[in-house]
Amino acid sequence: MNPAAVDGPLLIGGHEFESRLIVGTGKYSSNEEMVGALRASGAEMVTVSVRRVDLDRTRSEAILHHLDPNEFFLLANTAGCYTAEDAVRYARLARAAGFNEWVKLEVIGDEKTLLPDVYATLEAAKILVDEGFKVMAYTNEDLITALRLEDAGCVAVMPLASPIGSGLGLVNPYHIREIKARLQVPVIVDAGVGTASDACATMEQGVDGVLMNTAIAAADDPVSMARAMRLGVQAGRLAYLAGRMPRREIAVPSSPTRGMLD
């Protein structure tokens, strides 16, 4: 069998995932559309957020009325937190819901760009790892921060492709490849993917997976885009494993030059 066709499962924190695509559950126009998109994406792990219950019942947002925790592995995030203290608080609340001890740690440092505060992220990561959490840390595409997060005991490090919700795609493939080359824990590229070619190009860098939300939820047809993302991630993974041809700055003919008619 061609070795390129052999790919093991994605192993994160002792848990095996067949899909290398992790998807968010926010911004869908309806819960039915969300569930349809999640299923079309083939993702096993899906992210959720912790928020106050609306006691006036003007909005019904409880996602677990629609999302079966037996069907999807829930990864609670700390989105919206701007300090390590808040992120730790949200992570503890999420764990108290009783599903698992995993958290997508996200500490934002700037409202305009939503870029991560890597210092606060590292501080929170240390506390949460100490408390027994399995931390998947969202970070920027900085190698040193990624190494520090790995040292802190994170089960996965998740550098961004480009800012959250931007859809700009992979802006810094060189740094992403460098992070992947240097870390032992899985590297999941989180945020910034805009369409299937972005997902494919990201996976072609050799990273272990991709996490996205807006690219699917904000598509005109989220269910079809979810399927496109699933195929894009698979294609990129397979292309990486297959090993691409070298780039050349001159043309090389594909057809024989001998045997041409006089």
CA dist., res. 69 & res. 50, Å (int):
15
| Shortest spacing between CB 51 and another protein, in angstroms | 5
CA dist., res. 232 & res. 203, Å (int):
8
Q: 244 CB contacts (<8 Å, ≥6 apart)?
A: 204
| Shortest spacing between CB 126 and another protein, in angstroms | 20
Tell me whether residue 94 or residue 149 sits nearer to another protein (CB atom).
Answer: 94
Burial class of 199 by CB neighbour count within 10 A (0 to 12, 13 to 18, 19+): buried
Name the amino acid, one letter, at 88: V
List the catalytic residue out of 27, 104, 126, 180: 104
Residue 77 as a binder of another protein (CB under 8 A): the answer is: yes
CA dist., res. 76 & res. 118, Å (int):
19
Tell me whether residue 56 or residue 262 sits nearer to another protein (CB atom).
Answer: 56
Catalytic (active site) residue 104: yes
The C-alpha angle 24, 26, 30, rounded to 5 degrees, equals 120
Binding mask 90-129 for another protein (x = CB under 8 A): --xxx-xx--------------------------------
Beta-strand ranges (E) seen in 156-257 are 156-159, 188-190, 209-212
Residue 131 as a binder of another protein (CB under 8 A): the answer is: no
Tokens of 42: 């083939």
In this chain, which stretch among 8-16, 27-35, 129-137, 144-152 interacts with another protein, using CB under 8 A? 27-35
Residue 50 as a binder of another protein (CB under 8 A): the answer is: yes
In this chain, which of 4, 9, 29, 62 binds another protein, going by CB under 8 A?
Answer: 62
Exposure string (b/e) for 202-220, b if CB count within 10 Å is 16 or more? bbbbebbbbbbbbbbbebe
Radius of gyration (C-alpha) of the chain in whole angstroms: 20
Residue 143 as a binder of another protein (CB under 8 A): the answer is: no
In this chain, which of 15, 63, 127, 171 binds another protein, going by CB under 8 A?
Answer: 63
Contact 233, 203 (CB under 8 A): yes
What residues are paired with 77 via a beta bridge? Answer: 49, 104
In this chain, which stretch among 4-12, 24-32, 127-135, 198-206 interacts with another protein, using CB under 8 A? 24-32
CA dist., res. 162 & res. 193, Å (int):
7
Name the amino acid, one letter, at 1: M
In this chain, which of 4, 9, 18, 51 binds another protein, going by CB under 8 A?
Answer: 51
Residue 47 as a binder of another protein (CB under 8 A): the answer is: yes
Residue 68 as a binder of another protein (CB under 8 A): the answer is: no
| Shortest spacing between CB 36 and another protein, in angstroms | 14
Find the binding residues for another protein in span 203-262 (CB under 8 A): 211-214
Active-site amino acid positions: 104
Q: Which residues of the shown chain bind another protein in the complex (CB under 8 A)?
A: 24-28, 34, 47-53, 55, 61-64, 74, 76-77, 79, 89, 92-94, 96-97, 164, 191, 211-214
